[in-house]
Amino acid sequence: MNALAETNSQVAKLHGLLPLLRQRIRGQDHVLPRIVSLLQRGELGLTKGLRPRGSFLFLGPTGVGKTEVTLNFTQLLCGEDRLFRFDMSEYQNQESLAVLLGGKLGERGTLALAVEKSNTGTLLFDEIEKAHPRVLDVFLQILDAARVTMASGETLDLSGFYVVFTSNIASAEIVGLQHSSFSTMERHVLGHAQQSMRPELYARITEKLVFNKLTYDVQLEIARLLLAQELEFLRAKGHCIEPAEAVLPFLVRRGFHPRLGARPMRDAVEKSIGDAVASVLLEGGSGSGKLVVHEDGNRLQVVLR
C-alpha cells in the first residue's frame, strides 16, 4: 500500500470510528464524540510534545461500558491484543511498585512485559483510586513525558499508547441519584473525583468522562446486541440457531440488574444459550435448530430441525 492509499485508509477509518462505537456501545452516546475526538487527534499525530497519544479518566458504576469502549476503540485502531490491562487492586501497597517496574536489576516489571509485546495500543489502569501513591507517581511520569524508568534502568517509551484510567468513585451516588438530571450527576461525580484524586494527576488527564447508569430500555438494547453476538459466535462454530420471540424477554428477565449494569446480562446470555446448545450436543444432536424457552419457563432449549 502506497503512502497516499494508506493515508486515505486511515482517514476513512477515523471517519467511521464514531458510527462503529455507537453500534457496539449502548447508553453512552454523550461520551462517545469526545472519546472519538481525542482518538482522531492522537491518530493524526496532533498530540503535543512527548506525551501519550491521549489520556482518559472514565468514571461511573460497574458494568456501564468503561472497559468495553476501551476494548473496542483499541481493536478498531490498533488491532487485536493491543489492550494491556492492569488491575489497581493488585497495586495497593508500596511493594507493588516492584511488580509494576521490576524489583531489582535485570528483573522485568509487568509494565515492561506488556510494552515489549507492542509499541502501540492502550494501557488500561482499572480502579485507579486503589493504587498506592508510589504507583501514582509512575502515572505522573507517563502522562508528563510518555516515559518511565524501570528498576533495570531501562526507559520505556509510551508515546505510541493511549492511557485509560477507570474509577468507581461516587458510583453509589450515580445509581442513587434517581431523580437528578445527568448534568447534575456529572458535576457531582467530577467534583468528587477531583477531591479524591491528586490534583497534579487529575490535571494531566486530557478527558474526564462520566458514564451514565444503564436504564431498562438500554439494557434491553444490550441484550438484543449480546444475543446477536452469541448467535454469530455459535454460527462460526457450525451451530445455526434461530431464536424464538420469547427468547429475548427471557434473557432480559434473567440478566437485568439496575445496579450492576450489563455484566449480569452478558452472563445470562452466554450461560442460558450455552447450556441449551451443550445439552443438545451431549444428546448427540447437531446444535442447530430453533432456540426456544423450555416449557418449565426456567431455561432455554434448542429444538432440532
Q: Residue 90: what pLDDT?
A: 93
CB 136 within 8 A of CB 162: no
Whole-model pTM? 0.87
- Please determine, for residue 211, whether its predicted confidence score (pLDDT) is greater than 90: yes
**Mean local confidence (pLDDT), 65-72:** 95
Q: Which residue has better confidence, 28 or 187?
A: 28
Please say whether the beta carbons of 304 and 289 come within 8 A.
Answer: yes
Is the pLDDT at 107 greater than 80, yes or no? Answer: no
Q: Is the predicted pLDDT of residue 5 greater than 70, yes or no? A: no
Give tens-digit pLDDT for 156-178.
999 999 999 999 887 766 666 66
CATH fold group of domain 3-210: Rossmann fold (3.40.50)
Class for the domain spanning 216-304? mainly alpha
Instruction: Spell out the SS3 assignment of 108-177.
Output: CCHHHHHHCCCCCEEEEEECHHHCCHHHHHHHHHHHHHCEEECCCCCEEECCCEEEEEEECCCHHHHHHC
pLDDT above 70: percentage of residues in the chain: 92
Split at pLDDT 50, 70, 90, the class of 44 is very high
- Please state, in angstroms and rounded to a whole number, the distance separating the CA atoms of residues 282 and 27: 38
Mean of pLDDT values over 252-276 = 91
Residue range(s) in the chain whose domain bears CATH number 3.40.50.300 = 3-210
CATH 1.10.8.60 domain range(s) in the chain: 216-304
The pLDDT mean for the chain works out to: 89
Return the biggest CA–CA distance within the chain: 65
Higher pLDDT, 304 or 235: 235
| Residue 3: pLDDT over 60 | no
